[in-house]
Amino acid sequence: MQRITTLAELDALYGEPSQPAVIKEIDHISDHYKAFIDKAPFVVVATVGPEGLDCSPRGDPPGFVRVRDPKTVLIPDRRGNNRVDTLRNLVRDPRISLLFMIPGIGQTLRINGRAEIVLDGELNRSFAINGKPAKCVLVVTAERVYTQCPKALVRARLWSPDAQVDRSELPSAGEMMAALSKGAIDGAEYDRAYPRRLEETIY
């Protein structure tokens, strides 16, 4: 087994990036890239902190991530389980990476940059859903923006209906919680109550 430990070895293995892969990276949000963000109902948010890395999903109706200008996007943060791993990281290290996904579309869009956490009553209310404003807003300054080709999603058949897995083939959330808590949490009750809990706490 050979381990790749230097950039020179990595370059020898993969060679130079293709010309389109270089051309598509820009330092701002073009009109074409804005179109992807406007249609995306889902974005994966990656951050880094002293304890390590975090990668968290964010989702809302399409357009929930707002392009303020060619260098800035605004992401509302909703109520959750109060782990706030993303926010804890950003307080100490502003680096952030975003991966936007659109159902049925193979291409994804990536933004790498820096973020700050903003509390502004008017801004928070402008992101309200069901009368519930955002808890705070992430103001992301874009430094590198580019699309990703669809190869990974095509290989995964991510949007193919016949590739969907029935939920019954996996352990339920309650089963996992019961095992992890060594029986302190009633798994069956956890699963039974979850649909109502989701309805009451989604916003």
Single out the residue of 166, 157, 164, 168 nearest to residue 191, CA to CA.
168
Residues 134 and 150 in one domain: yes
pLDDT at 80: 86
Residues 116 and 196 in one domain: no
Q: Write down the pTM of the prediction.
A: 0.93
**Element (H or E) spanning 67, and its range?**
strand 66-69
Structural domain contains residue 83:
yes
pLDDT at 150: 94
Q: Domain residues for 117?
A: 23-155
Residues 149 and 182 in one domain: no
Q: Is the pLDDT confidence value at 21 over 90?
A: no
The enclosing domain of 53 has a CATH number of 2.30.110.10
**Percent of the chain scored above 70 by pLDDT?**
100
Residues 80 and 123 in one domain: yes
What is the sign of the dihedral through the CA atoms of 169, 40, 121 and 53? positive
Residues 65 and 147 in one domain: yes
Residues 106-164: tens digit of each pLDDT: 999 999 999 999 999 999 999 999 999 999 999 999 999 999 999 999 999 999 999 99
**One-letter amino acid identity for 173?**
A
Residues 149 and 185 in one domain: no
pLDDT at 32: 97
If you average pLDDT over each of 16-20, 98-102, 182-186, which comes out highest? 98-102
pLDDT at 186: 95
Last residue in a domain, options 119, 134, 155:
155
Residues 47 and 139 in one domain: yes
Sorted by sequence, the CB contacts under 8 Å of residue 201 that are 6+ apart come out as 79
Structural domain contains residue 18:
no
Structural domain contains residue 14:
no
Number of domains in the chain: 2
Residues 178 and 84 in one domain: no
Structural domain contains residue 6:
no
Residues 108 and 193 in one domain: no
Residues 157-183: tens digit of each pLDDT: 999 999 999 999 999 999 999 999 999
Single out the residue of 105, 102, 110, 177 nearest to residue 146, CA to CA.
110
Structural domain contains residue 94:
yes
Structural domain contains residue 88:
yes
Residues 30 and 80 in one domain: yes
Structural domain contains residue 55:
yes
pLDDT at 81: 87
Structural domain contains residue 2:
no
Residues 57 and 150 in one domain: yes
Residues 146 and 173 in one domain: no
Residues 35-69: tens digit of each pLDDT: 999 999 999 999 999 999 999 999 999 999 999 99
Q: Cα(144)–Cα(30) distance, rounded to whole angstroms?
A: 11
Q: Is the pLDDT confidence value at 94 over 90?
A: yes
